[in-house]
């Protein structure tokens, strides 16, 4: 990028070198110099929207001038592009600020003032939509500069711009426990909201989205399910037709700025202990996490930390609630009823002798340890009674506002004769949906969804938009739709942003609470005496994005062997770990999967009492470890650790060791596979 | 009460309609909104009641909506969802209405209760 203070000399130099002449060229160059000079000043302060728009208009005039040399146009285009970016950013900030202002619960705005703000937002939105992120000028500039007429950096700036509404996936570590709370549900490919029908190419986005959703349901569940979207489809089409006849520009464009969001959260949990405990063979964890898998987690890890012998281990874990839920259904009622069973987790760790068939190793004689954990802290999840109370108290009213506006408008609009027409149209849409499915039975699901979405939009255009008069709308109906219902719908959708922020805040607050677990582990040691471990596991967030994990425990021999100097108490151990997240793994191939790369620094101390009687062993064992876990496919990850230990339980020798493994989270994998299967999407 | 389709029902004058929304593998964060007076008669599962008040040839319009939060489901064979059931006091049985799935592109469903 050229610094503002360097622009005028550079431009002059270009002009002299090309030796172009003529009055028009001189006038154009003078204009360009004026613009560039004024921009140098303008860049030092925040320009207003109007100022930027003026500059863009003038720069576009320069760009269209056929007499100007390409070098000058290239500079102009780059600056034009910068102005467009600035304007886009300013518009987005203004819209956001207005929305916040509008949704302020302490606001004293009158109905008229609220409407005025809604109109201003719609106007800004319209201006934003007119700003094409990679306009012809910008793209052309990128082309010309990449041809050697400009610097590589400038070219890169121009060609890598994202669309105004495209946001990269959030890798904010602080948002690790949630991914996309306010993001609309990812639209399956076939139900692509951008699919526009040629016969209704300017349908509002709200209508296109609803048609996509209707087509999705019809293809999956049959023609009758068109009814689940049909009232909104008919109404949005009527609203579009009525809006276009409106003289007031803000009201006319309002329907195009409305977006109904989904209330949904996806999770990327990293607080479950999937692998074996730190003391088991093959473990890559020096500290244990207090949470545990609800359904089934299986981890195969290779390596060792607290043992001299390398081993390969299989860990299976579950919760009694999973068994109850499988029998009685995982309903909200059962979830609350069987709260105690959700607090308990059980797991078993097996030594593997056939790495090609690990589950075959889950035999009694290969059992190396089993454990039971009891969660001491309360339910931190969004299924907890606490979260539901919060929802009912703080969010439900806002959540019901969009449906409330819709049903009241439907009830007012579709009465008597209008209702008779609506029923006729609805009946024909059921037929259209059925005919489409019959006539296109051979198409793929994706092609059916796409084709049916177009069919629905075309039929809406034909049956509703082009025949709006048949509904017998009165002037009052038309005025109510554009002046009251659509603004109310927009206000309702916007107030959801504040409600969603509250939900987000609540989820964060709950996730920040400490988690404490008591664990009992029964260890089977074929070369030594069996023993039991009692542990207290504790986790709490510290500073973003790092959390603190503390483990403390004591172990007891079942039958101490005095010949080996064993006493009842085998050892005491403490571990402290600082864990963090480094963002979404670049290796996961499913868009839905937000699995995070995690890292941990861990220190562990163990006092092994019997070792003080052996000259070749140490009683005080200390470990320091760095561990990173990289998800590489959905539900699968690659844990790797480097550990320094001053000794092992069996050998008095310090060493540095690298361990690696393979971890598999069935909860995550099955959820995503289930989602893809239900939506007939390819499972990668 | 009779079922015309999964989202459309024929109802009689003054008939009392019961709507049950069962949350599976998700929190009980769903709502049923209708253009007439209704009340929540049970929180778990969330159950609403309303009485048909429209005249012949007219319709009660309703929306069911679900919100999804929380971790992946315990049951791997299905994703989190709200199952909706309708029962009319004039008989006809308990009808299975829409299922709002977390994996759906849209978590709102239009419902009509039409008087012939």
Percent of chain A with pLDDT over 90: 27
Query: Which of B63, B75, B102 lies closest to A403 in CB terms?
Result: B63
Q: What is the mean pLDDT of residues A656-668?
A: 74
What per-residue confidence (pLDDT) applies to A14?
A: 32
Tell me how close the Cα of A578 comes to any Cα of chain B, in angstroms.
Answer: 23
Chain A nearest-CA distance from B60, in A, is: 7
What is the predicted pLDDT for the residue at A154? 31
Residue A289 pLDDT: 64
* Residues of B in Cβ contact (< 8 Å) with A221: 6
Closest partner CB to A213 (pick from B24, B58, B106): B106
Q: Which residue has the higher pLDDT, A109 or A293?
A: A109
Instruction: Label residue A163 by pLDDT band (50, 70, 90).
Output: very low
**Would residue A22 be called left, alpha or beta, if left means φ above 0 and alpha means ψ between -120 and 50 degrees?**
left
Q: Assign A44 a pLDDT band (cuts: 50, 70, 90).
A: very low
Cβ-defined contact of A185 to B104 (cutoff 8 Å): yes
A471 CA to chain B: closest CA distance, Å? 15
Mean pLDDT, range A154-159, rounded to an integer? 30
Please check whether residue B109 touches A, CB under 8 A. Answer: yes
For the segment A510-536, the average pLDDT, to the nearest whole number, is: 86
CA A303 from chain centre, in angstroms, equals: 34
Q: Over the stretch A413-463, which tens digit does the pLDDT of each residue have? A: 999 999 999 999 999 999 999 999 999 999 999 999 999 999 999 999 999
Name the stretches of chain B with pLDDT < 70. 70-78
The pairing of strands B8-10 and B108-114 is parallel
- Please give the pLDDT value at position A590: 63
* Chain A touched by B113 (CB under 8 Å): no
Interface probe for B, chosen from A228, A291, A399 (most Cβ of B below 10 Å), is A228
Distance from CA of A82 to the nearest CA of B (A): 36
Examine the pLDDT at A378 and tell me if it is beyond 70: yes
| Count of helices and strands (H, E) across chain A | 21, 12
Tokens 């049950």 belong to B20
- Say whether B106 and A262 touch across the interface (CB within 8 A): yes
- Do the Cβ atoms of A260 and B62 come within 8 Å? no
Please tell me the distance in Å from B69's CA to the nearest CA on chain A: 5
What pLDDT sits at residue A195?
A: 58
Q: Tell me the angle at which helices A23-42 and A49-64 cross, rounded to the nearest 10 degrees.
A: 150
Using CB atoms, which residue from B33, B70, B105 is nearest to A381? B70
State ipTM: 0.96
Output the CA torsion A322→A326→A328→A331 (10° steps): 70
Q: Does B35 touch chain A (CB under 8 A)?
A: yes
Its pTM surpasses 0.90: no
Tokens (6 digits) for A326: 């499988």
CB contact under 8 A, A332 and B68: no
Q: How far is A389 from chain B (nearest CA, A)?
A: 10
Q: With CA atoms as reference, report the closest residue to A297 among A373, A353, A356, A354.
A: A373
How many A-B residue pairs are in contact by the CB < 8 A criterion? Answer: 204
Residue B102 DSSP symbol: T
pLDDT of residue A456: 96
Interchain proximity A400–B6, CB inside 8 Å: no
Contact predicate A248/A585, CB 8 Å: no
Residues forming a β-bridge with A550: A538, A576
Q: Which two tokens stand for residue A374?
A: 């009891």
Residue A134 has pLDDT above 80, yes or no: no
Question: Listing from the earlier edge strand, what are the strands of the sheet with B38-42?
Answer: B38-42, B46-51, B16-24, B81-88, B94-101
State the DSSP code for A272.
Answer: B
* Record: contact B8-A426, CB cut-off 8 A: yes
pLDDT for position A614: 87
* A235, closest residue in chain B (CA to CA): B110
Q: What's the pLDDT band for A48 if we cut at 50, 70, 90? A: confident
Contact between residue A289 and residue A301 where contact means Cβ atoms under 8 Å apart: no
Q: Which residue is listed with tokens 């849409």? A: A429
The reply to whether B3 touches chain A by the CB within 8 Å rule is no
């Amino acid at each position: 990028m050229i610094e503002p203070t360097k622009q005028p000399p550079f431009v002059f130099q270009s002009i002299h070198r090309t030796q172009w002449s003529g009055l028009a060229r001189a006038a154009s160059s003078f204009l360009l110099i004026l613009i560039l000079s004024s921009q140098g000043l303008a860049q030092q302060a925040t320009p207003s929207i109007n100022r930027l728009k003026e500059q863009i208009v003038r720069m576009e005039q320069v760009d269209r001038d056929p007499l100007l040399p390409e070098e000058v146009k290239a500079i102009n285009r780059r600056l034009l592009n910068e102005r467009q970016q600035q304007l886009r950013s300013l518009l987005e900030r203004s819209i956001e600020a207005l929305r916040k202002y509008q949704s302020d619960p302490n606001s004293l705005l009158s109905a008229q003032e609220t409407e005025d703000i809604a109109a201003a937002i719609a106007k800004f939105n319209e201006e934003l939509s007119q700003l094409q992120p990679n306009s012809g000028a910008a793209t052309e500039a990128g082309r010309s500069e990449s041809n050697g007429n400009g610097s590589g950096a400038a070219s890169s700036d121009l060609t890598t711009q994202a669309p105004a509404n495209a946001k990269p996936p959030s890798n904010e570590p602080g948002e690790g426990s949630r991914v996309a709370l306010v993001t609309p549900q990812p639209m399956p490919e076939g139900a692509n909201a951008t699919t526009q029908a040629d016969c209704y190419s300017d349908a509002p986005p709200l209508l296109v989205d609803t048609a996509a959703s209707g087509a999705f349901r019809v293809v999956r569940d049959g023609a009758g399910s068109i009814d689940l979207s049909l009232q909104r489809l008919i109404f949005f089409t009527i609203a579009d037709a009525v809006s276009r006849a409106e003289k007031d520009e803000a009201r006319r464009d309002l329907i195009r700025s409305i977006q109904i969001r989904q209330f949904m959260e996806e999770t990327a949990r990293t607080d479950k202990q999937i692998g074996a405990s730190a003391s088991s063979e093959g473990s890559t964890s020096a500290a244990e996490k207090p949470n545990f898998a609800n359904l089934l987690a299986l981890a195969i890890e290779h390596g060792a930390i607290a043992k001299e012998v390398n081993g390969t281990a299989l860990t299976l874990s579950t919760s009694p609630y999973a068994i109850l839920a499988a029998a009685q259904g995982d309903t909200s009622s059962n979830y609350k009823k069987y709260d105690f069973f959700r607090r308990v987790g059980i797991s078993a760790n097996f030594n593997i002798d056939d790495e090609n068939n690990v589950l075959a190793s889950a035999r009694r004689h290969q059992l190396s340890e089993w454990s039971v954990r009891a969660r001491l802290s309360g339910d931190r999840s969004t299924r907890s009674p606490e979260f539901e109370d919060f929802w009912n108290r703080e969010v439900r009213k806002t959540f019901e506002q969009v449906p409330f506006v819709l049903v009241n408008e439907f009830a007012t609009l579709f009465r008597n004769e209008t209702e008779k027409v609506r029923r006729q149209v609805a009946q024909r849409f059921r037929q259209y949906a059925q005919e489409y499915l019959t006539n296109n039975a051979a198409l793929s699901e994706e092609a059916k969804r796409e084709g049916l979405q177009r069919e629905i939009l075309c039929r809406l255009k034909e049956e509703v938009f082009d025949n709006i008069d048949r509904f017998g709308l009165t002037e009052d109906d038309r005025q109510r739709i554009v002046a009251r219902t659509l603004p109310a719908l927009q206000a309702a959708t916007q107030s959801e942003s504040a409600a969603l922020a509250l939900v987000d805040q609540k989820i964060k607050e709950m996730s920040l609470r400490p988690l404490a677990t008591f664990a009992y582990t029964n260890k089977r040691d074929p070369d030594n005496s069996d023993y039991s471990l009692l542990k207290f596991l504790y986790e709490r967030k510290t500073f973003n994005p790092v959390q603190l994990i503390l483990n403390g425990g004591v172990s007891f021999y079942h039958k101490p062997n005095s010949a080996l100097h064993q006493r009842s108490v085998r050892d005491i151990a403490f571990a402290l770990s600082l864990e963090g997240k480094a963002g979404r793994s670049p290796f996961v191939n499913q868009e839905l999967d937000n699995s995070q790369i995690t890292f941990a620094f861990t220190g562990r101390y163990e006092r092994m009492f019997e070792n003080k009687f052996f000259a070749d062993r140490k009683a005080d064992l200390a470990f320091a470890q760095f561990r990173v876990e990289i998800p590489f496919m959905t539900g699968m990850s690659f844990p790797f650790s480097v550990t320094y230990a001053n000794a092992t339980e069996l050998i008095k020798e310090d060493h540095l060791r690298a361990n690696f493994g393979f971890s598999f989270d069935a909860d995550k994998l099955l959820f995503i596979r289930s989602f893809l299967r239900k939506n007939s999407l390819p499972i990668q | 009460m009779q079922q015309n389709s999964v989202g459309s029902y024929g109802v009689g004058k003054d008939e009392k309609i019961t709507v049950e929304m069962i949350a599976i593998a998700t929190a009980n964060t769903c709502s049923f909104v209708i253009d007439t007076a209704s009340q929540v008669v049970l929180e778990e599962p969330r159950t609403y009641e309303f009485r048909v008040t429209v005249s012949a040839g007219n319709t009660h319009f309703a929306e069911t909506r679900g919100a999804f939060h929380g971790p992946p489901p315990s049951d791997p064979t299905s994703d989190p969802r709200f199952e909706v059931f309708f029962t009319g006091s004039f008989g006809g049985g308990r009808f299975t209405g829409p299922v709002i799935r977390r994996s759906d592109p849209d978590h709102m469903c239009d419902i009509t209760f039409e008087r012939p």
